[in-house]
Structures are given as C-alpha cells and as structure tokens.
Chain A
Amino acid sequence: MKLKELESHLSNVENFSNAKEYLEQYMTTPHLAARMIYTAQTQYEDIENNLLIDLGIGTGMLSIASCLLNADHVFGFDCDPDALKLCQSNIEEFELESNIDLIQADLRRIRLPIDLQRIKADTIIMNPPFGTKPFSIANEDQDEFCLGGIDMHFLQHARQIAQHSIYSLHKTSTRDHIYKKAKDWNMKMDVLAVLQFDIAKLEKKRPNRKTTTTANSAPLKAIEVDLIRFEIKDNMDS
C-alpha cells in the first residue's frame, strides 16, 4: 500500500467527539499516523507480521494504520471507557475485530496488568500524553502513580514490553532528556522526523472545550514534536 492510500484510508477513522482534556486526548491525525507507521514498515520492517502493542490507543488510529500494513496482531490499552468505545467502533468500521484486542488499564500506574515474562511485543506504537496538563488524580497514592513526565512513564512501560522497537512521539523540547533516558534504559534512539503539532487547533475543534486557566496554555499554538524510534539493545531473552 502506498503512503497516500494509507492516509486516505485513515481519514475514515472517527475522531473524539468529546475529548477529555485531563487525559490529553487528541487524535493522532491520519497524516501523522500514516507517516509514522509507513516509515516503521518501509524503512525498518517493524510492522508487517509483527505483534504490536499500542499504549494509549485512543481512537485506534495507529493500530488501524498498522493493521492496514499487515501487522499480525495488536493489543491496545487505554484507561478511558469512552475512548475504548470509540476505538471499538473504528475497528469495526475497518473490519479489524480479529486483529486488534482492547484492554482497559491505567497506564499511569507503575505496573501493567500484562505478564512481562510471557508476552513481548515486537513493536510498541504510541502517541503518549506529553504531560502538559495536570492529572486529576489528587486523591491517589503518589507512589503508585506517575505525576510528571507521563510520556516518559509510557516509554518506560514500552521499554519493558518491547522485544525490538518502540515508535513514539515526544516534544522536541525534551529531546535531550529523552536521549539520556534512552541511554539509561539501553536503547538506541533515532529521531526520524520533527513534526509540527497543532494542539491548540486540535483543541479548538472540541465542542465542549472549557477555557483553561493554566498560565502556560495561553500562547500555545504549534509545538514541535519528534517522531522517535527506539531500538532495544539487549535481547537477552530472544
């Protein structure tokens, strides 16, 4: 399948109708998803015939893109029942019910309900929250939840369950920090592309958007985001 064809298929993925700001829900655009997954396949062969896990699956955009490029199977995780419902309906629209399995779990937690000894996905795909919004988890146990750097927390999960590679999006402004972490976690890191992410515009499209009072959200127009590929260095158990 050609890139343009992939993107065109993905334009049929239904977007959030009522995105939850505290979960930083916004759809990975067809344009972005197509490029991300297409690159993963054509340059690295990380999609076709691979077992994938999608962390924070949201609308299902990345998973659907992967299945269109012949991924073996995807396990998709999300904490939000509304997102899972939307995702399920998108999956049905593309007739991929037997290719994508959904699991409701909270990825902000330290532990994942996956048996790490038993399952290793070849490739992890994700568009994690960037941690620009505060989490509404005031009453939760602080040790159990990750309060800041949520994208790094997702990345750490991904590192544990990835056999081979991870594709993720992170703010360009945090690149140095991610390089350091990647090194600590024994991963090779390549920035494949820098993308303009118009979160403000995406948020404007939300019908019920409340006006934010947080100081740093006011002038936010477009942010630069890195598409990063991480490669796991130590494959001791494969």
Chain B
Amino acid sequence: MLTSNILKGVTKGFPLKIKAVKVENVSVDYNRDFVARILQRIEYGALQSAVKDLGLNESLPETMSDAMQQDDEFLKLMHKVLLEYEIEEGELICPETGRKFPISKGIPNMLLQETEVS
C-alpha cells in the first residue's frame, strides 16, 4: 500500500487506481516513530482513494490534522493500512490514460512499451 503512494502513470496520472485481485494481510511490528515519519511524506488523499479502491473495511478520517499525527489510535490505523495490506496480484490504473500496470507477486510492473514513450 505504501508503494501505491509514490508511483504515477506515464506523465502525470496520480494517484493510480488500484484493482486488487489478491490482497494479503500481513502482520508487521508496530513502530510508532516510523509511521509518524512516513505520514509526513504520504499523500493522505491518495491513501484514502487506495483504501476505497481495495474496498477495505477501514474508516479513515476525512482529513489528517497535525494533532492526529501524534495520536496512537490513528497511527496504529495508518500502520495497518500502509504496511499490513499487501497487494499480491492486481493492477494499477492510470487515471488519465487508463493504462494498466500489472502487479504480480506483489511487484508492480511499470515498464512501458515502445509505443508509449512521450
């Protein structure tokens, strides 16, 4: 899930829509400092879209305030959403062009075809 927050499409195309075929739940040790640090870098709106795309049963607050970034409950939720959902199979879809990038064994394939160079 974390990865989906940094990738984009051929030109702009962010955030990529996620179509998940197989999602794995993994258990990761909670590291409060790490989550707090990473939250400063992610695009919260994109994460919300990703959660929606996956149809996860997690309710994310509408906005993320500074105070929330100190809140343990919220950080634990972020930890879970960012690190404990692994998309094993599926695809990322560019919102602008509709170009699909397959995800196989957890690795998104962002290789482009010759015809796609801009």
Q: List A residues at the B interface (Cβ < 8 Å).
A: 49, 51, 72-73, 75, 79, 84-85, 88, 97-98, 101-106, 109, 111, 113-115, 118-120, 139-141, 143-144
Total number of A-B contacts with CB less than 8 angstroms? 75
Whether A103 pairs with B107 at a CB distance below 8 angstroms is yes
The number of residues on chain B lying at the interface, defined by a beta carbon within 8 Å of a beta carbon of chain A, is 31
Whether A115 pairs with B7 at a CB distance below 8 angstroms is yes
Whether B110 pairs with A104 at a CB distance below 8 angstroms is yes
Q: How far is the CA of A49 from the CA of B38 in the complex (A)?
A: 10
Q: List B residues at the A interface (Cβ < 8 Å).
A: 2-3, 5-10, 14, 26, 28, 33-34, 37-38, 41, 43, 83, 86, 101, 105-112, 114, 117-118
Whether B41 pairs with A51 at a CB distance below 8 angstroms is yes
Whether A106 pairs with B3 at a CB distance below 8 angstroms is no
Whether B14 pairs with A115 at a CB distance below 8 angstroms is yes
Contact of B105 among A88, A109, A119 (CB under 8 A): A88
Contact of A49 among B5, B10, B33, B43 (CB under 8 A): B33
Whether A118 pairs with B14 at a CB distance below 8 angstroms is yes
Residues of B within 8 A of A51 (CB): 37-38, 41
Known contacts: A72-B34, A118-B14, A141-B114. The answer to whether A103 contacts B7 by CB under 8 A is: yes
Contact sample, A vs B, 19 pairs, CB 8 Å cutoff: A49-B33, A49-B34, A51-B37, A51-B41, A75-B3, A85-B105, A103-B3, A103-B7, A103-B107, A104-B107, A104-B108, A104-B109, A105-B111, A111-B118, A113-B8, A113-B10, A118-B14, A140-B114, A141-B117
Residues of A within 8 A of B112 (CB): 106, 109
Contact of B37 among A49, A75, A103, A113 (CB under 8 A): A49
What are the 9 closest A-B residue pairs judged by CB atoms, nearest first? A113-B110, A105-B110, A119-B6, A144-B117, A98-B28, A115-B8, A104-B109, A101-B3, A102-B107
Closest residue to A140 on the B side, CB-wise?
A: B114
Known contacts: A102-B106, A141-B117. The answer to whether A113 contacts B9 by CB under 8 A is: yes
Taking the closest CB of chain B, its distance from the CB of A120, in whole angstroms, is 8
Q: How far is the CA of A72 from the CA of B79 in the complex (A)?
A: 13
Residues of A within 8 A of B33 (CB): 49
Q: How far is the CA of A105 from the CA of B103 in the complex (A)?
A: 12
Closest residue to A53 on the B side, CB-wise?
A: B6
Whether B107 pairs with A97 at a CB distance below 8 angstroms is no
Residues of A within 8 A of B34 (CB): 49, 72-73
Taking the closest CB of chain B, its distance from the CB of A33, in whole angstroms, is 22
Whether A139 pairs with B14 at a CB distance below 8 angstroms is no
Known contacts: A103-B3, A106-B111. The answer to whether A73 contacts B38 by CB under 8 A is: yes
Taking the closest CB of chain B, its distance from the CB of A24, in whole angstroms, is 18
Residues of A within 8 A of B101 (CB): 113
Q: How far is the CA of A141 from the CA of B5 in the complex (A)?
A: 29
